Amino acid sequence: MKVAAYYSTVDKPPYVWHDDSNCPTGKQIKDSDKAYGKPAGYTHCKDCNA
Ligand SMILES: [Zn+2]
What are 1-50's pLDDT values in tens digits? Answer: 999 999 999 999 999 999 999 999 999 999 999 999 999 999 999 999 76
Tell me, what's the pLDDT at 42? 97
Q: Encode the chain in three state secondary structure.
A: CEEEEEEECCCCCCCEEEEECCCCCHHHCCHHHEEECCCCCCEECHHHHC
Q: How far is CA 19 from the centre of its chain?
A: 6
Tell me, what's the pLDDT at 50? 62
Question: How much distance in Å is there from the Cα of 33 to the middle of ligand 1?
Answer: 15
What is the reported pTM? 0.91
Q: Name the residues around ion ligand 1, CB cutoff 5 A.
A: 18, 23, 25-26, 45, 47-48
